[in-house]
C-alpha cells in the first residue's frame, strides 16, 4: 500500500496564517481604491460646482432681453490647479439654445434648481468630469432659465487616487510583512516542543522504553500519552518475549541434550534392545520438551491477554471443570489414582473458556502427577458469594513452608523426579488473576495431600446475562 508523502506542519501553519492575511490585504486595497476614487471625485467635484456657480452668477439679461455671460477669470482659475488637466465650459438656455463656451461639450439633462449634477463623459477622446448647474436670470418681469456646464479632464483626480492607493498599499505591505515575520517566529517557537520531543526520542537507545516526561503543549499531551501507553505495552511485549526466549532456551536445552545423547548412543548400540532403550529415552525427552514449549506458549498468551485485554464472556465453571475431569479419567486410572467430581449446578464466571479449561486442567494434571498411586483426587465447583474451584488430593502433599515457593516459575516441590515443567501452578495463578480470581494453596483434609482453591468474583444476574451475550463493558474488561 502506497504511503502518503510527508508534509511540513510549519508550511501548513504559515499557509493558513498568511494566505488569508494576504487575501484580506487585497480586499482592503480594492476597498481603498474605491474610496480613493470617491475622495478624489468629491474634492474635485466641489471645485467644479464652485466654478459653475461663479459662472452662473455672471449670467445677466441684456437690454435686448437675451442672456449674456461675462466669464470671470477667477472661475476658470479655480480649475487650473493641476497643470496637466484642461477645463471646458458652456452655457445653454433650455431648450437647446447655446449661449457661449464649447458648443461640442457634452451636456446633461437639466438638473434640479440649486443643486449641481455630476457625471462622467468623453470629450475629444479624453475622459472628463462634468458638473451642471441650473439657474434663472430675472428680466424684472419674468425670468429666463439657463444651465452652466463645466468640465475638466480627470488626470489630476486619477493621480490623486493612485497616490492614496500607493500609500495604503505601502502601509499594508509593511503590516503584512511584519505579520508574516511575527507568524514565522511564532510558528517556529510553537513547534520547538515538538523538535525537542523528536530529539529526546531520537537520542534514546532501543531498550529505553520509559515514559516520555518532556514538557509539551496541551495539544500534544494526548499524543505523548498515547506514545507512552504504546511504549508500556511494547515494553511488556518485549519483556514477555525475553522471558519466553530465555525460559525456552533454559528449559529446552536439557531435553535437546538428552535427545542428542540418546541418538548418539542409539547409533553406537550393539543390540536392538539398546537402540530401542535410547530411542525411548529420547522420545520421553522430546515429549517433555513439547510439554514445556506448550506451557511457555500458554504463558505468553496469558501475558499478552493481560496486556492487551481479552474479550471475556460468561462461562459455566462447573461445565468446564466436569469436561476437564472427564478428559483425564483414563490418565488418572493409568496413574493409579481415583479422580472424582462434585458439583453440577451452573456456576457462571467471567472468563474465556479455553483459558479457564487450561486452569482446571493444570490443577488436575498436577494432582495426578504428584498425588501418587492409590490417592484420591476430588474436583469441586460451588457458587454463592463467589465461584470456587477446588482440586484436593490425599497424596504426600507439599510441606507448609514450601507452599509459597512452588508458585514460582520452574519451581517444583517434592517429587521432582516426576514429569513436569514447574509451570503448572504459575499458569493457574496468572489465568486466575486475568479474570479477577485468586489462587490459594493449603494442606488437604486430615493434614494430608494438597488443596488448591481458586476463588472467582461473583457475577450479579444482569452482568452474567450481558456476559453471556458477549457484551462485557470495556471498563469491566481485565487490563
298/229: higher pLDDT: 229
Per-residue pLDDT of 38-83, as tens digits, reads 888 888 888 888 888 888 888 888 877 788 887 766 656 655 555 5
Q: Which residue has the higher pLDDT, 478 or 53?
A: 53
Q: What is the pLDDT of residue 121?
A: 92
What cell was used for 302? 496469558
If one counts every other C-beta atom within 10 angstroms of the C-beta of residue 55, the result is 26
Rounded Cα distance between 423 and 412, Å, is 9
Least confident of 18-27, 79-88, 201-210, 411-420: 411-420
pLDDT class of 378 with cuts at 50, 70, 90 = very high
Residue 121 to residues 76, 118, 132: CA-CA distances in angstroms?
20, 10, 13
pTM of the complete model: 0.47
Residue 470 backbone class (left: φ over 0; alpha: ψ -120 to 50; beta: rest): left
Q: d(Cα 72, Cα 145) in Å, to the nearest integer?
A: 20
Sort strands 438-443 and 59-61 into parallel, antiparallel or unpaired.
unpaired
**Residue, of 302 and 167, whose pLDDT is higher:** 167
Walk me through the domains of the chain, giving residue ranges and CATH numbers: 11-163 (no CATH), 231-308 (1.10.287), 313-476 (3.30.565.10)
Q: CA–CA separation, 333 vs 396, rounded Å?
A: 18
Q: What is the pLDDT of residues 157-210, one digit of tens each?
A: 888 888 888 988 898 889 888 888 998 888 888 888 888 888 877 887 777 777
Cα(363)–Cα(415) distance, integer angstroms: 16
Residue 284's pLDDT band (cuts 50, 70, 90):
confident
Cα separation, 224 vs 218, in Å, equals 10
Amino acid at each position: 500500500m502506497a504511503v502518503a508523502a510527508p508534509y511540513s506542519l510549519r508550511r501548513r501553519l504559515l499557509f493558513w496564517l498568511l494566505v488569508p492575511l494576504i487575501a484580506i490585504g487585497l480586499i482592503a486595497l480594492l476597498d481603498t481604491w474605491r474610496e480613493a476614487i470617491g475622495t478624489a471625485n468629491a474634492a474635485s467635484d466641489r471645485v467644479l460646482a464652485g466654478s459653475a456657480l461663479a459662472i452662473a452668477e455672471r449670467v445677466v439679461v441684456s437690454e435686448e432681453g437675451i442672456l449674456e455671460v461675462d466669464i470671470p477669470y477667477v472661475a476658470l482659475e479655480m480649475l487650473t490647479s493641476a497643470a496637466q488637466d484642461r477645463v471646458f465650459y458652456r452655457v445653454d438656455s433650455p431648450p437647446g439654445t447655446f449661449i457661449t463656451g464649447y458648443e461640442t461639450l457634452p451636456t446633461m439633462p437639466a438638473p434640479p434648481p440649486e443643486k449641481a449634477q455630476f457625471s462622467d463623459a468623453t470629450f475629444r477622446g479624453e475622459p472628463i468630469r462634468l458638473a451642471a448647474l441650473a439657474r434663472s436670470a430675472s428680466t424684472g418681469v419674468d425670468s429666463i432659465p439657463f444651465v452652466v456646464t463645466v468640465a475638466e479632464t480627470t488626470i489630476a483626480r486619477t493621480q490623486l487616487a493612485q497616490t492614496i492607493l500607493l500609500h495604503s498599499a505601502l502601509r499594508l505591505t509593511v503590516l503584512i510583512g511584519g505579520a508574516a515575520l511575527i507568524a514565522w517566529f511564532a510558528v517556529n517557537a510553537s513547534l520547538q516542543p515538538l523538535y525537542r520531543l523528536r530529539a529526546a526520542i531520537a537520542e534514546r537507545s532501543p531498550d529505553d522504553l520509559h515514559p516520555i516526561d518532556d514538557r509539551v503543549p496541551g495539544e500534544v499531551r494526548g499524543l505523548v500519552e498515547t506514545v507512552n501507553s504504546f511504549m508500556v505495552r511494547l515494553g511488556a511485549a518485549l519483556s514477555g518475549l525475553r522471558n519466553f526466549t530465555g525460559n525456552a532456551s533454559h528449559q529446552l536445552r536439557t531435553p535437546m541434550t538428552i535427545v542428542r545423547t540418546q541418538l548418539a548412543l542409539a547409533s553406537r548400540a550393539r543390540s536392538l534392545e539398546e537402540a530401542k532403550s535410547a530411542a525411548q529415552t529420547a522420545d520421553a525427552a522430546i515429549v517433555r520438551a513439547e510439554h514445556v514449549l506448550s506451557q511457555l506458549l500458554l504463558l505468553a498468551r496469558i501475558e499478552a491477554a493481560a496486556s492487551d485485554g481479552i474479550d471475556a464472556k460468561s462461562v459455566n465453571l462447573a461445565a468446564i471443570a466436569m469436561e476437564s475431569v472427564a478428559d483425564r479419567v483414563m490418565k488418572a486410572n493409568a496413574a493409579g489414582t481415583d479422580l472424582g467430581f462434585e458439583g453440577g449446578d451452573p456456576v457462571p464466571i467471567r472468563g474465556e473458556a479455553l483459558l479457564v479449561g487450561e486452569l482446571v486442567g493444570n490443577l488436575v494434571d498436577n494432582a495426578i502427577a504428584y498425588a501418587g498411586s492409590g490417592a484420591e483426587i476430588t474436583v469441586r465447583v460451588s457458587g454463592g458469594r463467589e465461584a470456587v474451584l477446588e482440586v484436593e488430593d490425599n497424596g504426600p502433599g507439599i510441606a507448609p513452608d514450601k507452599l509459597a515457593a512452588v508458585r514460582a516459575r520452574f519451581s517444583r516441590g517434592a517429587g521432582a523426579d516426576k514429569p513436569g515443567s514447574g509451570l503448572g501452578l504459575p499458569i493457574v495463578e496468572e489465568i486466575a488473576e486475568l479474570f479477577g480470581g485468586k489462587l490459594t494453596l493449603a494442606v488437604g483434609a486430615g493434614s494430608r495431600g494438597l488443596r488448591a482453591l481458586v476463588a472467582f468474583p461473583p457475577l450479579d444476574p444482569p452482568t452474567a446475562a450481558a456476559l453471556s451475550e458477549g457484551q462485557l463493558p470495556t471498563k469491566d474488561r481485565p487490563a
